[in-house]
Structure 1
Amino acid sequence: MEASAVRAAADLLQGAYRSRTPIAPLIDEYPDADVTDAYRIQQEQVRRWNEAGDPVKGHKVGLASAAMQRQMGVDQPDYGHLLGGMFHLEHQPIPAQRFLQPRIEPEIAFVLGRRLSGPGVTVADAIQAVDFVLPALEIVDSRISDWRISIVDTIADNASSGGVILGSKPTSLTAVDLRLAGCTLHYGGDLVATGAGGAVLGSPVNALVWLANTVGPLGIDLEPGHVVLPGSMTRAVPVRPGDAVVADIAGLGSVTAVFDREGRP
């Protein structure tokens, strides 16, 4: 894609944010776009957000589980940026009208204590870089109408990022086997999904390694203090104003997201 087309595609996505109206799939407008082009579109948006005063506070791996790949109709992971404005407090009302087509999913969040710089990052490097883990809920959202996303669409749309809710109980990696950590997701008091850490590329740590080695050649390091979301342990569940969602992850505790009943922005 020409640089002008990259900027135009970013304009379309950012227009969807402003208007609260989803757009047609980008792949329809740019049928020759590939994954490299999609990341250029993502980076153009990140540049604009940073210039507007919203800093990068971490990264996410999307579509890391077979369940999420089947649900979204794609066949590979992707990554996106977590901006400061995406983080919401547990138990505090989240303005639902900020989102267009929100869904929520449970994750194990890594908080880094050391920089990870790929390529060449190993599992041992990744484990050494993690300060602690937290239970988390990620709000995924799409600026593409009806979630009709190709891999190009979701990558360009910052990996369908929407929001993050972190639990408040830090846990050392030595205290839990993330592969075997089971998860339950309750929506309005009802059990709606179950999963385990092993659903995320075999282990959430593998997703952290994949991310560091994927973004490293692009000149992106994972910085101390940054949050990394490695991917969902279950399918994503749609949410609406007034909903309450609780994820309980064995060995890590629970995290709760509550959406504003009025949906005020």
Structure 2
Amino acid sequence: MNIPKIDVVQEAYEYLLQAEQTKKSVAPLTDLFPNLTVDEAYQVQLKAIDQKVKDGQKIVGKKIGLTSFAMQELLGVDQPDYGHLLDSMVVVNIGTINSEALFEPKVEGEIAFVLNKDLKGPGVTGEEVLAATDYIIPSLEIVDSRITNWKIKLQDTVADNASCGLYVLGDEKFTIDGLDLTKIEMSLYKNGELMNKGKGADVLGHPATCVAWLANKLSEYDVILKAGEVILSGALSAAIAGEKGDVFTAEFSDLGKVEVSFQ
């Protein structure tokens, strides 16, 4: 008897889609599909993004995850990952988030890049990223996971659009002239209490190195970083869980602050 081959990418896509539609978190993909590869996980992500674009949403940028060695060690991986930013994910600075629309949100402070020309890998360097940078801007990323209790492996978060939920950008744009991005310090506050700190050097040694990694990784899927896109370059410190009533503020040396609240 011929047993039909399971289309793992399609099955995983539908599994995560159901979680999104019902707002009920699910067991890890890697429990259901233990042989799921990272490449297949990216195919799941791209299938979901393609459908959202067909439904009228717009890709406005990319995010890089797992840029800290601590997070890589936690998940047992040796590389970052990436996801897509959509126009539906934008929250204005000092804006509010409906916490009931998310699963298990956590908040991170990051340096965002906006490019003034396209970057296409392979072979992109950090120096080329800086040369192609129009400006940087302070940001908060609200990461979220459809996987219950964040029990994720690399394949789980990749398939889940790198656990991207929402993001907030500061109001002021900064050119990189005269700035040492490795020394920019970020302090993350929850309800006025300092939760943690980080600096630019904490993400692969330099935020531009993260963007270069992304450009080179995307070349494997024939995708480029486009001028005008927002690139979230990676969390400068550990993510902090957010709940209804919480207010998060990230203060950056040289870049000001960005804030969001959960309602």
Q: TM-score, normalised by structure 1?
A: 0.94
Matching residue of 2:206: 203
Selected match of 2:229 from 226, 230, 233: 226
Selected match of 1:235 from 233, 238, 260: 238
Distance apart, 1:187 and its partner CA = 0.3
* Corresponding letter in the other structure for 2:212: V
Q: TM-score, normalised by structure 2?
A: 0.95
Distance apart, 1:121 and its partner CA = 1.1
Structure 2 unaligned spans of 5+: none
Matching residue of 2:90: 87
Matching residue of 1:31: 34
In structure 2, distance between residues paired with 1:129 and 1:58: 15
The CA RMSD over aligned residues, in Å, is 1.3
In structure 2, distance between residues paired with 1:143 and 1:58: 21
Distance apart, 1:36 and its partner CA = 0.7
Matching residue of 2:53: 50
Q: What are the within-5 Å matches in structure 2 for residues 66-215 of structure 1? A: 66-70=69-73, 72=75, 74-215=77-218
* Corresponding letter in the other structure for 2:231: V
State, as a whole percentage, how many aligned pairs show the same letter. 39
* Corresponding letter in the other structure for 2:138: P
Distance apart, 1:15 and its partner CA = 1.1
Superposed CA offset, 1:168-212 (max 9, x none)? 111111142110111100100000001111000000000000000
Structure 1 unaligned spans of 5+: 261-265
* Corresponding letter in the other structure for 1:100: F
Contact 2:250–2:259 under 8 Å retained in 1: yes
Contact 1:68–1:234 under 8 Å retained in 2: no
Matching residue of 1:13: 16
Matching residue of 2:253: 250
In structure 2, distance between residues paired with 1:116 and 1:75: 23
In structure 1, distance between residues paired with 2:13 and 2:37: 15
Structure 1 20/90 Cα, relative in aligned 2: closer, same or farther at 3 Å?
same
Structure 1 12/184 Cα, relative in aligned 2: closer, same or farther at 3 Å?
same
